[in-house]
Structure 1
């Protein structure tokens, strides 16, 4: 049971109603996490959505974006985001097996994707400046400097929702991952 009550879509006013309309137009529904954020802090949700729009228009593929979001959510222990990004991962072509392996930090058979998963795991688990070898491994796998910047942005965006959903204990409204 979520800790914060969300305004229902038909009762929303002002900026909350505007954000609901935009989200519903894009996704077909307003997920519980977005509803809670729109109710409590619409400007914070809008900032996150704006950052996600930059990410979506950037050089990282959709499967790479979902890989990052899924791995970070798993490491954070955010059941909500693991479920959401497992569903979206399927929609962008990631197999259930590959997503399960990514969540476990195991090889998927795609050397480029595996380099990304390894990088994200290392970055999260090791504080401080990254060794040159970690960045070099991404570059050698075919990621550009611009893509590496967007990897950081993807981590930032999903970290925000992970933290909020863990605080809120947001009710999961996505299918349970396989």
Structure 2
């Protein structure tokens, strides 16, 4: 079976080296998943441009989507990273577990977002009408819907890259959802 080592700065092109330097300065390290994007000469820059693009969703709302999507796609790396980021955005451990399960009993609007994100991912975009109606009834807009779908795609790309390459998780590992809820 092919194994994927995490590329080092010296193993990537000069564009990616510059991105590594920026990530090192901003985050204190280059996350293994981002480094894995650098196997491609263009994918890391393209991904960072996409994931950092303007959106109608606030940072905390983006984490709702990231956690629900990563759970459906069973991405240990992204679940671990977004559990840490979710905590930095003010979510408790119990709230993060709920969001991973695609719900949020603690906030009606976030509940609609989590349910939509989970449903879109599970159904590959064939969203259930009642889930969509609940999303709009909770106060979300059509702009929010399009931005949510874009974010589902963004996170799915990372989930698929990690699930294919299986690079080591360099965040505290999130507990499996079933074990955590037991």
Q: Which residue, out of 150, 159, 162, partners 2:159?
A: 162
Residues 52, 112 of structure 1: CA spacing in aligned structure 2 closer, same or farther, 3 A cutoff? same
Name 2:119's counterpart in structure 1.
122
- Relative distance call for 1:6 and 1:122 in structure 2 (3 A) is closer
The 3 A distance-change label for structure 1 pair 129 and 77 is closer
Provide structure 2 residue ranges, at least 5 long, that are not aligned to the other structure. 176-182
Corresponding residue pairs, total:
174
Q: How does 1:124-139 map to 2 (within 5 A)?
A: 124-127=121-124, 129-139=126-136
Q: Distance in 1 between matches of 2:125 and 2:93?
A: 33
Q: Deviations over 1:147-168 (max 9, x none)?
A: 1111011111110110000111
Aligned-pair distance for 1:128?
A: 6.0
Instruction: Name the structure with the higher helix share.
Output: 1
Contact 2:121 2:152 in 1 (8 A): no
Distance in 1 of aligned mates of 2:119 and 2:7: 39
Change (3 A) 1:95 1:83: same
**Higher relative contact order (Cα pairs below 8 Å, separated by 6+ residues):** 1
Please give the root-mean-square deviation of Cα atoms over the aligned residues, in Å.
Answer: 1.9
**Range that drifts further, 132-141 or 89-98:** 132-141
Query: Which residue of structure 1 aligns with residue 15 of structure 2?
Result: 15
Structure 1: which 5+ residue stretches go unaligned?
none
